[in-house]
Structure 1
């Protein structure tokens, strides 16, 4: 497997391991700077000549903690950190990932695994591997990068965001990016199953366990195997079941109802919620369970805060809809695109898809018009609000920038060329119009 080479800083105080890592990384084509003390690493990373693509850092060092090295270095550089942790340091390593570290690997590890993690971290830091499978806005590209990073671990993941933002889509993306994409993905909506049935559905039951239990039933937890158990709307899980879920995570096994035989639990838990379950004053959710489930967190922004994704999602949804539906619709008119960019999307991506499905089913036109997507706004389309020339010009510029960003898959340089302006000018306009951008203007 061909891997990209980079300039790597290595902070490891063990002379045998350090020398072994330097030799192997050098053979792989990387240029390695090795430090044995945290103070030396901080100095080296803050140097004006420092230009590292990745830092591999041990957590336990003779003179200072690896976390201190990371936090001090963050003041001077944005170089990504990959931490090497012992089993006793996993909680700290997880906290570091939540603070911005790119990854961690648990000792002892085999070299092939480390090399794969390094390759993934180098690609993630450069952004070259983020193709925009979940969206083209900077926030969704960041979510995709983090999910790819999380895919190599087995810790629980908690995805939070408004209803309709795509939490299950992200969970399935995480599953496909993992090392076991063909393993089961068992999705359970905790709000859709009556509370009195949820325990049996989750953990299963033996024949005769209760009235009506006429045969053995394997629950979602058992059927998930070594794949993913996805618990949607986890905030609606009854308190008694929250206790049992916490026990499942801590013990690594469960019992079917009516049985005393423990069954090992091998799946990874991924949860989603639109509620603020971390806030005890607003939620009846157990805080000890929340901290277990949120080891690796993801927060999804609402669609109104990432307008770059509106037309991109609309095109993908419409392609999927027209593949399975007999409809004359083949595209979206410019007027309909304008209407979509002006809409606030309170129902997020789910609302967008629902409007497109309804429009495709009812429209007799080749191109969807505003009235097809927003029939409730008929009067508004006939009599648009009065705007000044400056407001109208700004609105038109913003819509055109969003269209071209969709066409170029969010690439700023290509978009600037299509629009006939410099990259700096485009970036300034995007900032003025409230369009997200992770790219800085070139000097």
Structure 2
């Protein structure tokens, strides 16, 4: 297994070059590095391998990190590294994936070292593709990005070696023939003595490794990236998540209802160094306004009538972990001010209690544009700018039609497991039907549609189009008819002189009647939040 001399215009290695590499700090590695060694003179300098071009690259990277927004630059570095890693593997010849993968992986590390971009340490590898296992831990003493970043005056502590995590991911993915993701777990850019990367096999949006439970229960798969789909928008989203997961910066997730914003938040948490602690979540839309502060910041015993014990809030529970606030735009302006204080200095006051200090990574989500909420005066501008360090977009299903088949099969497998049934998959007509729908409810709507079909389907049966429509889904043509009839209804109501207030009150009363007085069910029927129903009921 060697680097293919025909894959690049490099001279063949000269005698004694392997010895020179060992002298340069690579003992025990018999790299075939004709392409690099022929072009560059290697020398030792402060424990690093350096090429004549390294200093120029460090300067260039430093300028980019200092002059441009950090995270977009890091995303570009990740993409460059990933492509470079795939290219190095293509230069390998006589490669046996089953028997030589570990050796080939180490050879690719040496290629990067000899180029002067990195100085990796000996990796710890446990790879067996037959058992769906790829566990790798790689240390790195230096890199261009970390050197450049540390040279910037007063840098924020960040994990910046995304070109290397991209390179390792590209190499491992190309060698294994399936997705492998490397995440930087320590970085010199955040004060560590050396950088460290952990690589895992990713399969169907999950880590393929298994972890034993603390009580000795059977080993179960541990999810890493619960985002299913291989469309370009999902690949871009995964790349962005990989870049920002290791930072402490707040993240805003914007997207329509049902697009999987909480799954993105869980992915960010699981790929961070806070993953040993649970992700704490709160849906702001489901919380009555008078209880929001108590839920977020905790209550001191005796703070008010009925407060018979001290109760911790979400921020205390999320100390040294991650807090996810869904529908953050629905928080009152007063609570938003308290949230801003936590973001600024990590402090807040318990209801009726003393000041608390916490270390929390905050992720928020909204199905409305926060910038528009600022313009309307319902969201604080200072909080908006403090939160929007990083904004991730959760794409609607109509923008990722290529994922519909994969998602449908994923949901069908999940339904089969929960209902104790087996299926023979979807018919071609069923998939075509699914791919032709508009999905105003996005991925959640698709999941419910497949769930209903699975319930009606026979054991070992095929999910056909008829079963999908039996589940109660309204085809697009009928949906369009509903839109037309709604327009006609509006015209009729305007002609009748019925006021908007009367119409709203009638709709709410009807929804409450049909739901038996259940506010949450009435909210679902009306397509608004429970808090909005509660507010309108009180105001009527």
Smaller-chain TM-score bracket: 0.5 to 0.7
Partner of 1:296: 390
Partner of 2:497: none
> Do structure 1's residue 273 and structure 2's residue 366 form an aligned pair?
yes
The total of aligned residue pairs comes to 324
Q: 1:228, 1:270 within 8 Å by CA — same for their partners in 2?
A: yes
The whole-number CA distance in structure 2 between the counterparts of 1:111 and 1:303 is: 43
Q: 2:158, 2:247 within 8 Å by CA — same for their partners in 1?
A: no
Pick the aligned partner of 1:84 from 120, 132, 149: 149
Matches within 5 A, 1:31-430: 33-35=53-55, 56-57=61-62, 66-67=67-68, 79=80, 82=145, 84=149, 88-90=154-156, 109-113=191-195, 116=197, 133-260=227-354, 262-279=355-372, 280-282=374-376, 284-327=378-421, 329-364=423-458, 366-375=461-470
The whole-number CA distance in structure 2 between the counterparts of 1:226 and 1:245 is: 17
Q: Which runs of 5+ in 1 are unaligned?
A: 9-17, 43-55, 121-129, 382-443
Question: 1:348–1:263: structure 2 CA closer, same or farther, 3 Å change rule?
Answer: same
Q: 2:254, 2:366 within 8 Å by CA — same for their partners in 1?
A: yes
Question: 1:225–1:106: structure 2 CA closer, same or farther, 3 Å change rule?
Answer: same
The whole-number CA distance in structure 2 between the counterparts of 1:69 and 1:176 is: 22
Partner of 2:21: none
Higher RCO (CA 8 Å, separation ≥ 6 residues): 1
Partner of 1:406: none
Q: 1:207, 1:213 within 8 Å by CA — same for their partners in 2?
A: yes
Question: 1:245–1:87: structure 2 CA closer, same or farther, 3 Å change rule?
Answer: farther
Tell me the SS of whatever aligns to 1:259.
coil
With structure 1 as the length reference, what TM-score do the two structures score?
0.63
Cα RMSD for the two superposed structures: 4.2
Q: 2:226, 2:263 within 8 Å by CA — same for their partners in 1?
A: no
Q: Which of 350-359 and 360-369 deviates more?
A: 360-369
Structure number with higher strand proportion: 2
Quote the offset at 1:88 in angstroms: 4.3
Quote the offset at 1:142 in angstroms: 1.1
Tell me the SS of whatever aligns to 2:403.
helix
The whole-number CA distance in structure 2 between the counterparts of 1:297 and 1:220 is: 22
Q: Which runs of 5+ in 2 are unaligned?
A: 1-30, 37-43, 82-143, 164-182, 201-223, 478-540
The whole-number CA distance in structure 2 between the counterparts of 1:377 and 1:351 is: 9
The whole-number CA distance in structure 2 between the counterparts of 1:105 and 1:253 is: 27
Tell me the SS of whatever aligns to 2:444.
helix
